[in-house]
Amino acid sequence: FGFLTTRALVFTLFPTVVAFYSGAFGQASGIHLLLFVTLVLPVLLTLPEEQRLWMYGLATPMVADLVLELTDFSVAGPSLAPPAVQRALHVALMATTFAFLLVAMLYFARSARRAERALSARNGEMRWLLDHVDQGFLVLDGERRVRPGFSAPVEAWLGPACAGRLFVDLVMQKDAQAAASLAAGFAQLDDGILPAAVALDQLPKRMRVDGAEVALGFRGVGAGQVVVVMTDITATLARERAEAE
């Protein structure tokens, strides 16, 4: 079995065994024993991002507790522990459960902060990389508005206040003809008559930006979003013309 399957089996079998075991200690202590298992297993054996497995690990002890409640904690027969032992176990398990709950909360809070710092560091590295290449990268949402996080060349070509604005409007400020072609192409893409790849391929391949020639590339990435790659090809075109002459 894989590690995921093994943990799922543990979450299934262990609470079942504990349910029979806790029935022997009576209702007061048995409930808290199950609660302790509910907290221990998912926290120790899952990662914060494994939400489905974590929820399954919480659900199985709850089902076991429901069975015990419906059978009046007599699945394993009458309680083997006298009332004094049950009360002692009840207090001990309550204190242990509370302590572990506190530890679990601190663990998840620390894991969340660690994951946030790691994500922030990765985003910073990616941002640095995008800002130090000659190409411009941006993402358009389903309404063809520019999402935050575009690279520095995009800001240099289309202006700093790009986020949230329609890409067609930004292009219109630089190249009206390219903007008209974009508007028609996006309308065709939204109609859905043509396959998305075909419609994207029919969008304009070039625009002028303050005397510079900028090539445009488009790629759909799902949920109606489109990645746009902008490349300054002014020097390339000038070199090709010189070679042709």
pLDDT, position 54: 80
Greater pLDDT, 42 or 33: 42
φ/ψ (deg, to 5) at 155: -65, -40
Q: Tokens for 158? A: 């289309």
Give the mean model confidence (pLDDT) for residues 2-23: 73
CA atoms within 13 A on the CB side of 107: 15
Q: Identify the weakest region by mean pLDDT among 92-96, 198-202, 209-213.
A: 92-96
Residues listed for the chain: 245
Q: Tokens for 121? A: 């560091």
pLDDT tens for 129-161 read 666 677 889 999 999 999 988 888 898 898 888
Dihedral sign for Cα atoms in the order 15, 17, 18, 20:
positive
Measured distance CA(245)–CA(239) in Å, rounded: 10
pLDDT, position 112: 74
Nearest Cα residue to 44 out of 35, 57, 59: 57
**pLDDT band, residue 217 (cuts 50/70/90):** very high
pTM, full prediction: 0.52
Q: Strands, DSSP E only, in 27-68?
A: none
**pLDDT above 90 as % of the chain:** 27
The answer, yes or no, to whether residue 201 has pLDDT greater than 80, is: yes
The answer, yes or no, to whether residue 38 has pLDDT greater than 70, is: no
